[in-house]
Amino acid sequence: MTSLQMGAQEEAVERFLDAAARGALGQLSSLLALGPALLNRAGSSGWTALMLAARNGHYAVVEALLSHGCDKFSVNNSSQTAYDIAVFWGHRHVAALLGRTGGGGGPPGFDLDPSESYFGRETLDRQSARRTDRVWLEVKRSHPDSVYLLFSNLSPMVSGPSGDGGAEVETKLCRFRYEAVKDLLQKPSTVLVFLGVEKRNKPSSSSSSSSSSAHAAEGAWEPPAWFAVDTDEDAAELLKRCREKNCRFPKTPNRDLLRFSEEEAGVVAPARAVLAWHSRYGFCPTCGGGTAPEEGGYKRSCLDAGCRSLKGVHNTCYPRVDPVVIMLVIHPDGNQCLLGRKKVFPVGMFSCLAGFIEPGETVEAAVRREVQEESGVTVGPVRYVSCQPWPMPSNLMIGCLAVAMSTAIKVDDNEIEEARWFPRQQVIDSFRGTRPAFSVPPRQTIAHQLIRHWIATNSNL
């Protein structure tokens, strides 16, 4: 490149940065129309156009830059992001725009809104009031539009590629109608769970489903009901019922259950969790007698009429949820986070610390105790961020940010094999895949969301 060309390029950068600082949206857009090369260019102080627009509160310019895919995670020479700058100068409307963790021009893998986590999407309307309506459930069981999902050893039947493409290789749930599974429903050992009904409007008269159209014409149309079926029939025999290609039952749930779309993951989570509960509560924990499912699969009752579990409300009669705290611990300087790894993790992967909440313990107390036990670090303030159902088998992951009061690490070898403080920029590099010092958990996990949330927003609590 000649000195003349270099001079012209530097001049264009200066004009671009000046337009962002002044809020000259028209001039900035004209320069961007020439190509994306200017988008993330920084001046001598390391300030990008996004940072300058954030400094001066130019909301429309910030919005335009983000829409073009501007990198909102880059830092200037003072390790400040555009968000940090907007907060410091009191431009709350700009900070709110930059602080959004869903969409908004983030790097690949930053498109999952933490308010609706993987496994947490309410794909179906649970219709919990219908669980005690035996007549309605019986009608839905044999309805031609009802959808059945088959499980074997708590694994759902799926279709799609079965290679080692990781969590990014998407699979789909195999769906069956009543005629294909009615023989299974007659077996005493089969467990049936009512999952809910589809969230969709009444079909038009031109609907492709003749049965749905008929019911709609009669004014009695209802959205299809979904059921999960767990049976002891041989898995190979069950697979013969499927007409789709590459049907199978996943063998490694912690990996394979991360391959669904968010919509189907929202169906799998309650189905697998409730079926896992049924597999453990075939006998009454109170008296040891046999139990039978009720209320659409959301309750088990003891068959011994004299059992005290039949009097009053007992948590052994309903599906259990085990609360787990998972936390990203922030260094007192605000620019480092504490991550650990277990021996079972993939090579190079670090994640947030986590642990079960004990009886009589608050979320905050559990965070402080677990961090202290696993890493030796003392924690002060704790802030809730978001949560995620985790059906392996029935956990609720409660995600928090926590501020460290001490920094010396002493790992409990029985819990984790290593823990480290990672600088903010190093974490950003790992997300981008540029000079990664470690690998982050899959985007479907709440640990991924917590780390992303921290680097996307101000780390001060």
Q: What is the mean pLDDT of the chain?
A: 86
pLDDT at 144 over 80: yes
Of 100, 445, 58, 86, whose CA–CA distance to 265 is shortest? 445
Res 243: pLDDT: 86
Res 197: pLDDT: 96
pLDDT at 110 over 80: no
Helix H or strand E encompassing 193? strand 191-198
Q: Do both 250 and 128 map to the same domain?
A: yes
Q: Range of 390's domain? A: 322-456
Q: In 78-115, which positions are buried (b, 16+ CB within 10 angstroms) versus exposed (e)?
A: eebbbbbbbbeeebeebbebbbbbeebbbbebbebebe
Show the tokens assigned to 341: 């790894």
**pLDDT tens for each residue of 120-143:** 999 999 999 999 999 999 999 999
Phi, psi at 393, each rounded to 5°: -100, -30
Which pLDDT band holds residue 432 (cuts at 50, 70, 90)? confident
What is the model's pTM? Answer: 0.73
Q: Do both 438 and 341 map to the same domain?
A: yes
Q: Do both 85 and 172 map to the same domain?
A: no
CB of 199 closer than 8 Å to CB of 124: yes
Strand-pair partners of 383: 401
Amino acid at 50: L
**Domain end position, chosen among 228, 251, 280:** 280
How far is 268 from 47, CA to CA, in rounded Å? 45
CB of 401 closer than 8 Å to CB of 386: no
Q: Do both 183 and 58 map to the same domain?
A: no
Res 269: pLDDT: 96
Which CATH number does the domain housing residue 439 bear? 3.90.79.10
Please report whether residue 295 resides in a domain.
Answer: no
Q: What is the mean pLDDT of residues 228-244?
A: 92
pLDDT at 276 over 90: yes
CB of 368 closer than 8 Å to CB of 400: no
Which pLDDT band holds residue 109 (cuts at 50, 70, 90)? very low
Please report whether residue 461 resides in a domain.
Answer: no
Please report whether residue 294 resides in a domain.
Answer: no
The rounded Cα 113 to chain-centroid distance in angstroms is: 8
Which pLDDT band holds residue 209 (cuts at 50, 70, 90)? very low
Q: Do both 275 and 184 map to the same domain?
A: yes
pLDDT at 352 over 90: yes
pLDDT at 108 over 50: no
pLDDT at 43 over 50: yes
Please report whether residue 215 resides in a domain.
Answer: yes
Q: Do both 403 and 447 map to the same domain?
A: yes
Which CATH number does the domain housing residue 14 bear? 1.25.40.20
Please report whether residue 306 resides in a domain.
Answer: no
Indicate the number of domains in the chain.
Answer: 3
Q: Do both 272 and 131 map to the same domain?
A: yes
Q: Do both 92 and 145 map to the same domain?
A: no
Q: Do both 214 and 91 map to the same domain?
A: no
Q: Do both 449 and 335 map to the same domain?
A: yes
Which pLDDT band holds residue 7 (cuts at 50, 70, 90)? low
pLDDT at 111 over 60: no
Please report whether residue 286 resides in a domain.
Answer: no
Alpha helices by DSSP H, 23-129? 25-32, 49-55, 59-67, 82-88, 92-99
Please report whether residue 105 resides in a domain.
Answer: no
Q: Do both 193 and 146 map to the same domain?
A: yes
Q: What is the mean pLDDT of residues 189-201?
A: 91
Q: Do both 267 and 364 map to the same domain?
A: no
* Cα R_g (the chain), whole angstroms: 27
pLDDT at 1 over 60: no
